[in-house]
A and B are shown apart, each in its own frame.
Chain A
Amino acid sequence: MEAVRCWVLGVGCWVLLLVGSVSAQTAVNQETMMVAGRLYENGRFLEAAQLYQQVVDGGVVDSGLFYNAGTAYYRAGELGWAMLHLERAARLAPRDAAIAANLALARQQAGGPQPPLLDLVLADGRAWLSLNETAVLALLAWVAAWGCWWAYRRWRLPFLRGIIWATAVVCLLALLLLGGRLWVERERPLAIVVAAQVSAVSNPTQPENDLFTLGGGTAVNITIERPDWLYVTQPGSDREGWVPARAVEQVGLP
């Protein structure tokens, strides 16, 4: 009995410590964001963006944080970092009008060719549902399809057959969308050029032989990763080449 009491006490203290440290970190992050907000309010956009960046670097994933960081970077003229954070924000909160508006502004400024049709379709999918929402939708449709099938076997209600087919189709479509997005993210993850501009080269051992130049904010797909170099392709064009890894940041969130 005594041992059980000790165990309960120990686990309780551990949980309290864990919760306490997490909430303390959250409070620090909130305060950092408030200071960043004031800097932004006073027109000190780059400093505000740097504070938001600190919170991001601390591992916080939040659409509002990414949006604020992206907006601050945008107003500071750092188009690459702005695009990166706004893309991340849009992936977490695809139906947020403010995020979509600022991302459209940044994209317009970054320019670039029209992406291929598959990318456009997937981008439209992202504009409706986040990846997790798509995953949950597919799972719910799956559960509903099985549930309806069970109910149909149990009570033989004719209208359930239509619902089974409808849920199965929804499930299939959601799975296709999910699979497509996971595949794209795995095979050619989206990244943004965060440097003001970067020259792509045909051979990393001869970096002076540049093929073309990509401006800050350009969206690229990573096809090969090396420790210091990335082989990228620009969607909608046949431009491809090696760029220094530090000049490009992966959006990361599918």
Chain B
Amino acid sequence: MAVFGIWYSVISYQLSVIGIRLLMVGRGVGLIWGLLWLLLAGVVQAQNEPLVVTVDRTEVTTDDTVTLTITLSGGSDVGTPELPDLSAFALVGRSQSSQMSSVNGVVSVGATYTYRLQPVQTGAVEIGGITAVIDGQSYTADPITMTITAGVRPTLPPGVDPNVAELTSLGMFMEASVDNPTPYAGEQILYSVRIFHPSNTVLYVPYKLPNFGGFWSQGTSETTYVEPRQDRTLRVIDVATVLFPQAAGETVIGAATLDLPGAETVDALHTEPVTVQVRPLPEPQPAGFNGSVGQFELRTAVDKNSVAVGEAIKLQVLLQGAGNIPALAAPELPVIPGWRAFDPTQQTQSETRNGRLVGARLYEQIWVPETGGDVVIPAVEYVYFDPQSDSYQTLRSEPIPITVTGEAAVAVVATAVPVATAVAKDAAPEAESAADQSAVQGLKGAALGEETAVVFPVRPFYWLLWLLPPLLVGGWVGWQRWQAAKAAVPRHKRAFANAQRRLKEGAQLPPEELSERVLLGYLSDKLEQPIVGLPQQTQLALLQAQAVDETLVARVGDLLQRLETERFAPLPNGGEAAIVAETRGLVEALEGVWKR
């Protein structure tokens, strides 16, 4: 293996040199080759060490997990690595992958073992040398020293496995409850799961919350505290979830349980279902009410009270309070005739505070006045149901007077030329990041419609275009071959087909001319020599030389004679069809007996 190691080093070095040279002198394809060489060099270098042990970090807290990766390579027989004492960690996951390659008939096997470890003790911890046997030779990796600090989350003590029997023997149990079992539809309630265990045991176990069907759930939080119960002091993991019932009626929240095999069968390790009777909202509902339930406040503001025509002004509407903030219905924003309104934007912030979901929604809308004069932005109204007072409430903002200076509705287009440079004119821009803003390139005068959203390679028509060249070239080759094959057929064998074709194509010709062309053409093809223009005696002699029946030769002579004569004399009625039919009959008769 040592010899292999030296070879790998030499090859890797040489590949790197080639790659770097190609990169230095290369352009285009040379550059790509350079990158490929470097890639190859990297692969070869990675193959250098038969046993590689790594961790993704060496300083962790007990809240983190560490990934320990053991890579074995470069042999035909790779054994399983021997792990050292890992009692300072809980094994929370493992995976294994193997690779096999064959180069010039030499099979090389590799394997990667990945362990996910969670620290369970603090201080400096050493992962001892990991040993593996490759091709009969033992390798040992260097130890890895890690520093583990305490996290904020409770952890399992060393040696305690989170299994059902152990947890039951510790006296662990769970409870579930809601703070309001008869809420209104849309009113928030708090569903709490509390996991109790002896306080002298530091313990963290996975749990599984029920499916909150029929509720809109938001903001699960977990707190840990100590609570005296009878003669014991218990540690409590309190998992609280804010729920919003979606419809009136009875709804049952299922059992929460520990996320361990068999926990569902132990009474103490799962909760009882909780029934919630959801009340409908009182009737009649006032106009403008669109389902918001909670306690809210409304504020409106504009960024300026005086604005020029064509200049932008921003209206802000802030809705804040306690309720289903992320799903809150939007207030109806005012419309001002003669002002161009852009689509409003909204931002939502919410958090669970003291078991209640609170937060705010900010709606912003930009307007551009297109006419001058004094304008009043009307009040914004918002209707909601307050479960605390059992009544519907209406919030109303103050109207805002605005003065619009200037005239001419074309101001927007006339003055709003595309910006060439990013120079902030106002004294206080709204947000500047810490980065060097002077290095930012300015905006572009974008003409929309330059690009297309169509990604060619995922469209069938693109790949159909790939078929076009082979089809065209293939068609051309086929046509060439067909022409060549056609040309290879002897002329006398095509005589009858040619005669039929001439008869079909020459329907517009005078009958005697058509007949002469068909008959002489047929005979020329059959004899494979031109006979047009030869004396009639010679033509007939050529036929006789081919041992054609004398009667047919005589018929040919007779027909040719008549055609010659009738060329200068009109044919009797029906003679045109008769002479063509006679020619066709004669050709068919000749073809029937002329076995050449």
Contacts and interface: CB of A to CB of B under 8 A. Distances in A.
B103 interface: no
Interface stretch (B105-113, B463-471, B546-554): B463-471
Contacts of A114: none
B274 interface: no
Contact of A68 (B221, B343, B436, B443): B443
B409 to A, nearest CB: 12
Contacts of A238: 56, 67
Given A35-B342, A50-B364, A132 B456 contact: yes
Contacts of B368: 35
B419 A77 contact: no
Given A38-B312, A117-B39, A146 B469 contact: yes
Contact of A139 (B206, B443, B462): B462
Contacts of A135: 456-457, 462
Contact of A63 (B364, B450, B469): B450
A51 B435 CA distance: 23
Nearest to B92: A202
Contact of A254 (B417, B455, B465): B455
Given A51-B342, A61-B451, A75-B432, A42 B422 contact: no
A79 interface: yes
A77 B441 contact: no
Given A63-B451, A68-B446, A146-B470, A34 B431 contact: no
B418 A62 contact: no
Contacts of B451: 61-63, 92-93
B236 to A, nearest CB: 15
A101 interface: yes
Contacts of A41: 419, 423-425
Contacts of A76: 430-431
User: From DSSP, what is the main secondary structure of chain A's interface residues?
Assistant: helix
B17 interface: no
- Candidate in B423, B443, B445 with the most chain A CB atoms within 10 angstroms: B443
B419 A38 contact: yes
Interface residues of B, number: 77
Nearest to B454: A132
B427 to A, nearest CB: 8
A35 B496 CA distance: 82
B448 A60 contact: yes
A71 to B, nearest CB: 6
Given A33-B448, A40-B422, A105 B443 contact: no
Contacts of A61: 451-453
A239 to B, nearest CB: 8
B444 A67 contact: yes
A208 interface: yes
Contacts of B254: none
Interface residues of A, number: 82
Interface in A191-249: 202, 205-209, 211, 237-238
A58 to B, nearest CB: 9
B446 A253 contact: no
B441 A35 contact: no
A40 B426 CA distance: 10
Interface string B214-255: 000000111000000000000000000000000000000000
Nearest to B462: A135
Given A31-B413, A42-B424, A135-B456, A101 B441 contact: yes
Contacts of B206: 206
Nearest to A34: B416
Interface of A: 26, 29-35, 37-47, 50-51, 53-55, 59-65, 67-68, 71-72, 74-79, 92-93, 97-99, 101-102, 105, 108-109, 117, 121, 124, 131-132, 135-136, 139, 142-143, 145-147, 149-150, 153, 169, 173, 178, 182, 202, 205-209, 211, 237-238, 253-254
17 contacts: A31-B416, A32-B342, A37-B445, A40-B419, A40-B443, A45-B429, A46-B430, A50-B366, A63-B451, A68-B446, A74-B433, A98-B444, A117-B42, A135-B462, A202-B65, A205-B209, A208-B220
Interface of B: 29, 32, 35, 39, 42, 56, 64-65, 67, 153, 206-209, 220-222, 311-312, 314, 342-343, 345, 364, 366, 368, 412-413, 415-419, 422-426, 428-433, 435-437, 439-458, 462, 465-466, 468-470, 472-473, 476-477
